[in-house]
Amino acid sequence: MTALAVVLAALGACGYAFGARLQHAAVHATMAGGGLGLRSQAQLVRNPRWLAGLAALGSGAALHVSALGLAPLSVVQPIGVLALPITVLLNLREQGYTRRDVHPSMVLAVLAATGGLAVFVLLAAGSATPTPVGEDDQFTATQIVAVAVLLIGLVAAATRSKVRCVLFAAGCAVAYGYVSLMARAVAQQVGTGDLLAINLLSVLGIAVAMVVGGWLLQHGYASGPPDLVVACLTVIDPLVAVGLGIGLLGEADHVSGWVAAAEALCALVACAGVFALARHHPDTTERSTSETLEVAPPGDRTATPAPTTGPTTGSANEVPAGTAGHRTSPRPNGSSS
């Protein structure tokens, strides 16, 4: 069952990647250079690309929930990190990048993220113990996550730029990590065969967390690139879910110290690969370069003119050789520099 759960979770990660790419494009097309206000949010629900992304995310979530019903939380949840390299590959293809545009550090980051994850899953699959999710555990998790999401959302609303994107994505990731825990609880209740035994509060908690997380996710898309959003989701979501599984459910009570240390090391390698992947992506590099040019003085943006051996001829509007891209500014007498 564990092998099947890993396959389902991997397919779910593909759904997350396609959904993230589609919804990010739809959000920015709807914003049209403005903010993501209530009017823009209302237009999203009629955008075919956004709806297609929602369907992809829903399919990924369904596969992920099915996997949670077959294997421990600490095994299934980290597989979601595969969504990041898939998202990067989709973005590279859509933006028309070639192999020359891919930094070697980006390739190493992909290997670190996927390799660290693969070893982590192998270790967790052989050591984690499936445990039931009791009502007390659900209530405690609800309190912790509600406070965390509220605080992160408030701080995100008061910040700007990439920090805002990271915080909105982090709030979504915390909510989705909670959804994984509650989904496992519902899957265990369904597995008993008595549908009347399903706790409706668990279902309500999942619904509320999905809505809140989805709202935060759209604001994350509006505030930054999809790679950064997916990077935050793939790192924080598993950490929250695994933390809840270990802290509340005791899934690692029978794990030896050496195995726990190896799992922690693999998790660190995978997280480092995720952050490096977001950092060395061509979109991120080009964005940093353009931001530097925008804030730099005009004299720092231009290429050094080639030395001239004599007076130039031609009209005043001609640009001398070697000064291509020089921004001209009007002088008081009407001429240009």
Q: Give tens-digit pLDDT for 218-241.
A: 888 888 777 778 878 877 887 788
Scan for tokens 């979770």, then name that residue: 9
Measured distance CA(154)–CA(165) in Å, rounded: 13
pLDDT of residue 216: 92
Residue among 219, 311, 284 nearest 88 (CA):
284
Cβ–Cβ contacts within 10 Å for residue 89, how many? 13
Q: Give tens-digit pLDDT for 295-319.
A: 555 554 444 444 444 444 444 444 4
Pair 170, 217: CB distance under 8 Å: no
Scan for tokens 């984690």, then name that residue: 128
Q: Is the pLDDT of residue 290 over 70?
A: no
Q: Give tens-digit pLDDT for 201-213.
A: 888 999 999 999 9
pLDDT of residue 79: 79
Q: Is the pLDDT of residue 324 over 70?
A: no
- Mean pLDDT, rounded, of the chain: 76
pLDDT of residue 64: 85
Angle between helix 226-247 and 83-95 (nearest 10): 170
Q: Give tens-digit pLDDT for 141-159.
A: 899 999 999 999 999 988 8
Q: Give tens-digit pLDDT for 49-105.
A: 999 999 998 899 889 878 877 887 667 877 777 887 888 778 777 766 666 767 777
Average pLDDT over residues 264-286: 73
pTM exceeds 0.85 for this model: no
Q: In sequence order, what are the residues at sequence separation of 6 or more whose Cβ sits closer than 8 angstroms to the Cβ of residue 333?
A: none
- Please state the domain extents for the chain: 2-288
**Residues facing residue 336 across a β-bridge:** 330
Backbone angles phi and psi of 336, in degrees to 5? -120, 150
